[in-house]
Amino acid sequence: MTDESGRKARQPRQRKQMLLRLDPAVHDALARWADDELRSANAQIEFLLRKALADAGRLPGAARPIPRRGRPPRRPAEGTEGAGPTEGPQGTGREPNRP
């Protein structure tokens, strides 16, 4: 694949797949922990592996951050750049304004 200038277009790296065999009790504990932190079991395993690598000083500098899942962050409306979010729940659209 090439772009208009004839250079090779940069393709995103594929994530590696692997089979992991776990003791059922370990899997159940991992699944409960992942559920508590609103992650999938797979995302929890990757999170823990990355943390262990970083703690041991072995996380490669070329490792990309874990992709964020879910709804993308809200972009500020035009003309409101530089205006930070309001303090507290007011202005978030989650609760009605109270006197």
The domain locations on the chain are 24-55
Comparison of pLDDT for 79 and 1, the residue scoring more: 79
pLDDT per position as a tens digit, 4-20: 556 566 666 788 899 99
Quote the mean pLDDT of the chain.
79
- Model confidence at 50, pLDDT cuts 50, 70, 90, reads very high
What tokens appear for 94 in the block? Answer: 């989650």
**What is the model's pTM?**
0.57
Give the pLDDT of residue 24.
Answer: 97
Contact 41, 30 (CB under 8 A): yes
What tokens appear for 39 in the block? Answer: 């992650």
